[in-house]
Amino acid sequence: MFSESFRRGLMTRKLFGTDGIRGTANVEPMTAVTALHVAMAAAARFHRTDHGSSVVIGKDTRLSGYMIESALTAGFTSMGMDVFLVGPMPTPAVAMLTRSLRADVGVVISASHNPFADNGIKLFGPDGHKLSDETEAEIEARITANGHGAGIPGLPQGKALGRARRLEDAAGRYIEHVKNTFPRGLRLDGLKIVVDCANGAAYKVAPQVLWELGAEIVPLSVEPNGLNINENCGATATARMCAAVVEYGADLGLALDGDADRLIIADENGREIDGDQLMAVIALDQFASGTLKGGGVVATVMSNLGLERYLAGLRLTLCRTGVGDRYVVEAMREQGFNVGGEQSGHIILADHATTGDGLIAALQVLAVIKRSERPTSQVCHMFEPVPQLLRNVRFVPGPDRPAPLETEAVRGAIAAAEQRLGGQGRVLIRKSGTEPVIRVMAEGDDPDLVDTVVGDICTAIEESGHKIAAA
């Protein structure tokens, strides 16, 4: 079952990708000049004349954040919008503050789980939701048409210029918001929790939330220096967090990524628990309490078949979308679901947030663990994952090379793989939205067969003139 937004496919855009604008800092498109023009174009799109227009700008802990923050601030204020600067703050915090402050737009400067040398710009509308493909395309068109003036005939002058100021209570506002999603009367007293903040945006707020709710905290990666965000830590490098759980005898570990919109958990044995298992925990809890909406869960095409089968056993639906939490959110809004997410740990809980929030998702899982009085390993192991294998094939675009998925040999290999797996598995082949890579994924009950069919498809692509890249 696929969402309507996934069926529509992505609009053709050069600047915006699957999650805003992203690239190497100080290399196009992630330069101060482009950031200035993005801000001006976004201001032209969202500026309202019936009240003082404003924008919330937050960032993670990357060194390049200072440069991009200054350029964005200049662009918005030059267009007559007031700017609230909140400093290092999780992506979901900026979405929440945009709504809370009745701002017209929210901006997050972050490349999420990428290395520190990268950066990105994510935009939220006044409702706290990421912008649609159509709105991003409109902003991009304004830049292309007239980057200097952002598509308007004249720039504000004199008193019409905007102001910028630091929002000193931003962290406190977000901390209280997150705590209010935890069940009333329940506390985390007695739980020892390792929390890995990836030297990123949640390095202050995440330990504070958990401590205020009563937990004993073992903080990791809470000393950002501008260069160490996501470096061998956080949700995409969980080895240190998993080892710390065992070393300190903790009940569990929580790992966030650089902008804290995704979550990976480790049980008391140091075993990693991914987003599919966490969605199952939360969905079952809400199903039992009668608060699950939409009759199931929204996840992407990458979620394990085991999750789909588990939900089907409860007579619940798994609605699949394209890769990217924004498409999960779109499907949730279109079809009335309140739980969705990605295997990578983006968990969207529509009753509490408009985007993935690692902290809020963690509190919902912690509530289940606390009420059950059982070990994390028992609470969070909801189903046996179906064997799944993902490999990447890098290709070099050019007029003398065939499109990777259009040769007869590749199409034949894919068709043969689907036939061999039959109803006991599935094949997913997709082109990356951020690099020249074809992602070849298959899953099924027979791991040897899965390995064989993935290998056959990759070989067919390689023989068509492309090279296998590291997964």
| In contact, 55 and 13? CB cutoff 8 Å | no
- Quick check: helix, strand or coil at residue 107? strand
Interatomic CA distance for residues 144 and 85, integer angstroms: 27
Active site residue 432: no
Structure tokens at 241: 């967090």
Q: Residue type for 110, please?
A: S
Strand partners, 272: 266
Q: In 3D, which of 100, 251, 125, 88 has the Cα closest to residue 176?
A: 100
Strand pairing category for 263-266 and 272-273: antiparallel
Interatomic CA distance for residues 404 and 65, integer angstroms: 37
Q: In 3D, which of 19, 22, 96, 65 has the Cα closest to residue 359?
A: 96
Q: In 3D, which of 201, 203, 216, 206 has the Cα closest to residue 248?
A: 216
Interatomic CA distance for residues 346 and 359, integer angstroms: 11
> Alpha helices, DSSP H only, in 228-304?
239-248, 275-289
| In contact, 440 and 392? CB cutoff 8 Å | yes
Structure tokens at 427: 């094949």
Strand partners, 123: 107
Residues in Cβ contact with 169 at an 8 Å cutoff, skipping those fewer than 6 apart:
none
- Of the candidates 5, 112, 221, 344, the residue annotated as catalytic is 112
Strand pairing category for 339-341 and 347-349: antiparallel
| In contact, 113 and 257? CB cutoff 8 Å | yes
Interatomic CA distance for residues 89 and 174, integer angstroms: 9
Q: Could you give the residue numbers annotated as active site?
A: 112
